[in-house]
């Protein structure tokens, strides 16, 4: 039985009742995959590539992943937290080095790594204009790593920005845990949460990743149901 392992942060993690209604992409991704494929979601709130490795979470994947499995690698939100040395990575150096460690962990077992750029935050400058975003340096670095390591990449960042722009400030509220409509500037402050997802958002953005895998073709497309 093929397994999809997910190494990522809170936008992907599996939640329980203590964080309801927050829902992670990895929590619902099985909706899109074919029968006989299992999702092993190791994503955890607040983790960067650095803290995920330092806490032994990649080591746990290393012990279980096998030939023919897949490792989905999706980080960026917490790598950019320069105020926190336990999580921060510099995009063009340590971030790429850590991504390389993830890739090599998969490959040494005959598994297939996939790099996934971070989900965009719901940061509208006003009621109609999406802000510049916070992940661009890490997105560029991940794309550089994908090219140099010859790893397939799903650009969730660009896809999610496109969908946010199309939906606009009002219609995009249904995807994120934003509980104070009409507040634009802050991505996360108190009840204003424009980073984490509700169920509908998790399903929607998981679908974008599924489409990205279909576009890659071959064994990646073979993971996904026709929809």
| DSSP symbols for 121-164 | P--BSSSS-B---S-HHHHHHHHHHHHHHT--EE-HHHHHHHHH
The whole-angstrom distance between residue 52's C-alpha and the CA centroid of its chain comes to 14
Query: Would you state the pLDDT for residue 120?
Result: 94
pLDDT of residue 179: 60
pLDDT single digits (tens) 76-100: 999 999 999 999 999 999 999 999 9
> What pLDDT does residue 191 have?
54
10 assigned to active site:
yes
Q: Which residues pair with 2 in a beta bridge?
A: 37
pTM of this structure: 0.93
Dump pLDDT digits (tens) for 1-54.
899 999 999 999 999 999 999 999 999 999 999 999 999 999 999 999 999 999
Which residue in the list 64, 147, 180, 189 is annotated as catalytic? Answer: 189
CATH architecture, domain 2-121+134-176+196-221? 3-Layer(aba) Sandwich (3.40)
Chain length of the chain: 227
175/203 Cα distance (integer angstroms): 9
User: Is residue 189 scored above 60 in pLDDT?
Assistant: no
pLDDT confidence of residue 198: 95
> Among residues 10, 48, 51, 172, which one is catalytic?
10
| Active site annotation includes 42 | no
């Amino acid at each position: 039985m093929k397994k999809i392992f997910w190494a990522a942060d809170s936008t992907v993690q599996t939640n329980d009742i203590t964080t309801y209604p927050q829902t992670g992409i990895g929590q619902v991704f099985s909706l899109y995959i074919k029968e006989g494929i299992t999702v092993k979601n190791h994503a955890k709130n607040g983790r960067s590539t650095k803290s995920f490795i330092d806490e032994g979470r990649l080591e746990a994947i290393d012990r279980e992943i096998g030939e023919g499995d897949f490792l989905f690698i999706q980080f960026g939100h917490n790598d950019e937290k320069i105020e926190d040395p336990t999580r921060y990575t510099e995009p063009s150096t340590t971030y790429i080095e850590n991504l390389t460690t993830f890739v090599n962990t998969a490959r040494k077992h005959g598994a297939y790594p996939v790099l996934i750029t971070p989900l965009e935050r719901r940061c509208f400058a006003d009621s109609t204009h999406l802000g510049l975003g916070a992940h661009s340096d890490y997105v560029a670095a991940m794309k550089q790593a994908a090219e140099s390591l010859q790893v397939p990449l799903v650009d969730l960042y660009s896809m999610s920005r496109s969908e946010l722009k199309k939906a606009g400030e009002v219609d995009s509220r249904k995807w994120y845990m934003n509980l104070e409509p009409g507040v634009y500037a802050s991505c996360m402050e108190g009840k204003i949460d424009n980073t984490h997802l509700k169920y509908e958002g998790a399903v929607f953005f998981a679908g974008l990743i599924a489409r990205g895998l279909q576009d890659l073709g071959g064994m990646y497309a073979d993971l996904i149901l026709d929809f």
